[in-house]
Amino acid sequence: MTKQLFALLALALFFSHLAVPAVNAQESKSQLPKSKQTTLGLYVTSMEAYEMWKDKPEKVKILDVRTLDEYIYIGHAAMAWNVVAFFQTSDWDAEKHHFSMKPNPDFLSQIKEVFDAEDIILVTCRSGSRSAMATNQMAAEGYKNVYNITDGFEGDMVKDEGSDYYEKRMVNGWKNSGAPWTYALDPKFIKINN
């Protein structure tokens, strides 16, 4: 019995560094970073968004505002419309250590082609900031039922420097929540700039 217990303990210690962080962990809505807050103040997590859609798929719409490349190559919710809010540029932002983005000048006109002002629209991006900006643009155009999916599609980064997953987007997000997602494409859900 002692040898078995010792073997189990040794295995547990060996694999403990592989433990994946909790996938649905999220700060309370009152503690959301400013970059994820919206003028409408309507927020859901990815799993809450999926449950809302599942309850009323004819009334609740999912909007993914990431770039087309993100939507295609990282995956997306199968029912999510892709209307790009910001385009990736090739201009390096040395302060932020990434390539900058520029607004899609056709975003709101494309939104109006897809959604009615009274639709319930749940907006996602990678981690909740671009979707907040897109939500604010839509609110300024008269959309009242627009929720920011605060953990986005990929989720927030692991902040524990001791973790093997440090700076990986595994804390929450649609992809980590257990909600279904896909790489399969349906062109009817994609609005492309001409």
Q: How many residues does the chain have?
A: 194
**pLDDT bucket at 81, cuts 50 / 70 / 90:** very high
**pLDDT bucket at 194, cuts 50 / 70 / 90:** low
Q: Write down the CATH number for the domain with range 24-191.
A: 3.40.250.10
Strands (E), the chain: 43-44, 60-64, 80-83, 86-93, 98-103, 120-124, 146-149, 190-191
Inform me whether the pLDDT recorded for 19 exceeds 80.
no
Between CA 150 and CA 173 the distance in angstroms is 8
Domain boundaries, the chain: 24-191
* Digit-coded pLDDT (tens) for 86-134: 999 999 999 988 899 999 999 999 999 999 999 999 999 999 999 999 9
- Structure-block tokens of residue 71: 């939507």
Inform me whether the pLDDT recorded for 14 exceeds 50.
no
Residues facing 149 on adjacent strands? 44
- In degrees and rounded to multiples of 5, residue 61 shows phi and psi of -115, 140
